[in-house]
């Protein structure tokens, strides 16, 4: 029943890593 929460958490982590990689590549520090 907690599959949606696990999926949501995975999406959040994936999005965070993606944004962090883009920011690191562009040398931009955003909050």
pLDDT of residue 23: 82
CB 30, CB 23: distance < 8 Å:
yes
pLDDT, one tens digit per residue, over 21-30 is: 988 887 766 5
3-state secondary structure string across 1-31: CCHHHHHHHHHHHHHHHHHHHHHHHHCCCCC
pLDDT band at 9 (very low <50, low <70, confident <90, very high): very high
Domain-by-domain residue ranges, the chain?
1-31
Instruction: Taking residues 5-31, report their average pLDDT.
Output: 86
CA atoms of 29 and 8, how far apart (whole Å): 25
- pTM for the full model? 0.59
User: What is the share, in percent, of the chain residues with pLDDT greater than 90?
Assistant: 55
Q: How far is CA 30 from the centre of its chain?
A: 13
């Amino acid at each position: 029943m907690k599959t949606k929460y696990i999926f949501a958490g995975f999406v959040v982590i994936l999005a965070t890593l993606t944004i962090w990689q883009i920011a690191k590549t562009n040398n931009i520090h955003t909050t």
